[in-house]
Structure 1
Amino acid sequence: MSDDDLSGWALPAFKPDEALQTLRRGLRDLKLQEQAGGAPLRYQFKGKPVAELSLAEGGLQVRWVKRPSHSPEWQSRTLGNAAAVRDWLAALKRQAAGWDGKE
């Protein structure tokens, strides 16, 4: 198949608001507690902050910690497509698997 055969195809447009809902469901599945009110959306694990989500220009801004603590070290990234959203959530799930009992 040549490149000309695919020239009429385009990836679906990234919809940050729909991706935000996907991440909210994924974080709930990880048993993270969403803090009430406001933006950014904040999530906790056993009362300690672990993630923040907010809509940003052209995507989603995410912040997360390596491990829960009262003074966490934050990392941040902007997710601009569905693949980045899936990859970030999968990486956070792997990271969160080590949190329970190792704080």
Structure 2
Amino acid sequence: MDNDFFAPPPFKAEEALVQLKRALRDLRALTERGAGWSFENQEVLQLAVGEGQITAKLAKKPARSPDWETRICRNAADVRKLQDDLKRRLAQWAEE
């Protein structure tokens, strides 16, 4: 008996990265710079893809040399969680 019927489709990291970048471009507060994203000229996000996953380095707060937090996205839920967290941080940083 095959138990893979309910298994989610395999995570396609490259496709997910394209979709994530598109969603990030819609966030007017961010500026894309190569593999990184800036908020008010301070780099706050770095994205890399490899081995079927997206590795995101997210700044705890904008700074010249930020304190980075690494997130590994291995599925669509992880990517959504990263987006939600980033939106929350952007709103918080904009208030400060």
**What TM-score bracket applies, with the shorter chain setting the length?**
0.7 to 0.9
Structure ranking higher in helix proportion: 2
TM-score computed with the length of structure 2 as normaliser: 0.88
Q: Say which of 27, 31, 44 aligns to 1:33.
A: 31
Q: Number of matched residues?
A: 94
Tell me how far apart the structure 1 counterparts of residues 37 and 59 of structure 2 sit (CA, whole Å).
11
Q: CA deviation at 1:80?
A: 0.4
Q: Residue 83 of structure 1 aligns with which residue?
A: 77
1:46-90 deviation digits (Å, cap 9, x = unpaired): 110000001021200100111111121001021101111111111
Tell me how far apart the structure 1 counterparts of residues 7 and 53 of structure 2 sit (CA, whole Å).
18
Structure exhibiting the larger radius of gyration computed from Cα positions: 1
Tell me how far apart the structure 2 counterparts of residues 59 and 47 of structure 1 sit (CA, whole Å).
27
5+ residue gaps, structure 2, are none
5+ residue gaps, structure 1, are none
Please state whether the residue corresponding to 2:43 is helix, strand or coil: strand
